[in-house]
Amino acid sequence: MVGAGLLVMVFFPERYSGLAVVRRLVLFLSLAGLSLVLSVLSWADEVSIEEFRLPVEYAYPVGITSHRDGKVWFVARSVDRLFSFDPETREFEGFDLPEGSSPVDICTDDEGNLWFTLSSASANAIGRFSVETGKLDVFVVPTPEAEPYKIAISREGRVWFTEMNANKIGSLKDGKFMEYDIPTPNSQPSGIDVDSSGRVWFTEATGNRLGMIDPASGEIKEFDIPNPLTNPGDVRVDGEGRVWFVEMNGNRLSAFIPEKGEFNEVIIPTTGAVPVGLAIDRKGIIWFTENRANKIGRFDPYTATLREYDVPTSRSLPTGIHVDEKGIVWFTEADRDANSIARVTVKEEEGQEEKEEVPSPAGTTQPRNMEGRGGWVWMGAIVLVVITAVGLWLVVRMRS
């Protein structure tokens, strides 16, 4: 309504003298600039990012998940450990994994067990950890040096994982493995997820394809990604059956519509962002890590709006990302100096109070807190403020 009124004031003035039109045009641009400033500041304040430094140095945290015990669980690749983090007490607890096992990804089943990939040639296994008993079971993958990488679980409790070095998709149920050869040679399967109908979706990093396994028949279908050499990574299926994945080299967020056989792509604004991790919240919002841009991306497919938020610690290498049952976004910072996990808190709707912070008990990790504002956002806001001020000054000068 305000914009319409300004347009009428500019283009339909009572007098059509050049000076009158210029005055109204400058006024319109000034108010438009001010409106943009307020808009930018409003969405820049939408989220806050809190970081929690690990108690072990140079741990290289990667895959992350949550558990019904209320804790966040993640694996640390460099130190061969499984960690839990309690958001209430802000305390970490570590559990040893086989030495030299190099864990990469992790997920939780309906029974409360944690499953993770042990990717090294010496381990070459899938791990299972019981949160209730603390028992660790290791299941060695049949193909030697397969490099199990990403992992997912179906509703039936079958564990699915990519074998990056063996060019296979593996599954595990009741201690028994099944392996499926991918038609494209040396495709380097990477991300994996299971949709509501049980179909298994995976990405091929060097094959530049999206793949799908029908568990009933064992048939594999592959779909060529429109752009070449995109290096597709993490993949997730949303509630409407759309298959989302990141293009690490393509610098895009993509969605595949199975019913239509069509790809839709969203270009990430930051050049060379290298999107790596991917998660979808309960509202259908897509969250992803921008590993080289040091940002967290948020895409709303219903409004086609993409926003980026700076991670407080510079060059933190955000990697794995997960949305817990409360809708809170968690991610890992893999850089050896950052060495943290972080929480993205979306501010409540107007009229609701934000959750009060719990003081950190003595001896526990102290969080680093920073509003999720992109640097370019503030630079743009400053420029718009300057434009607005100059415009208003010109209006005053013209009237004098």
388 belongs to a structural domain:
no
Count of structural domains within the chain: 1
- For the purposes of burial, counting CB atoms within 10 Å of the CB of 296, is it exposed (0-12), middle (13-18) or buried (19 or more)? buried
**What pLDDT sits at residue 27?**
56
CB 31 within 8 A of CB 394: no
Task: Give the CATH number of the domain where residue 212 resides.
Answer: 2.130.10.10
**What pLDDT sits at residue 29?**
54
CB 128 within 8 A of CB 161: no
**What pLDDT sits at residue 373?**
41
Whole-prediction pTM: 0.79
58 belongs to a structural domain:
yes
CA distances from 61 to 55, 58, 291, 319, 395 (A): 12, 9, 13, 8, 56
37 belongs to a structural domain:
no
40 belongs to a structural domain:
no
pLDDT per residue rounded down to tens, the chain (400 residues): 434 443 334 444 444 455 555 555 555 555 555 555 545 444 545 789 999 999 999 999 999 999 999 999 999 999 999 999 999 999 999 999 999 999 999 999 999 999 999 999 999 999 999 999 999 999 999 999 999 999 999 999 999 999 999 999 999 999 999 999 999 999 999 999 999 999 999 999 999 999 999 999 999 999 999 999 999 999 999 999 999 999 999 999 999 999 999 999 999 999 999 999 999 999 999 999 999 999 999 999 999 999 999 999 999 999 999 999 999 999 999 999 999 999 999 875 433 333 333 333 333 333 343 333 444 444 555 555 566 666 666 655 655 5
98 belongs to a structural domain:
yes
What range defines the domain where residue 315 resides? 47-371
**Distance, CA of 132 to CA of 113 (rounded, Å):** 8
400 belongs to a structural domain:
no
152 belongs to a structural domain:
yes
51 belongs to a structural domain:
yes
Nearest residue to 190 via CA among 181, 203, 201: 203
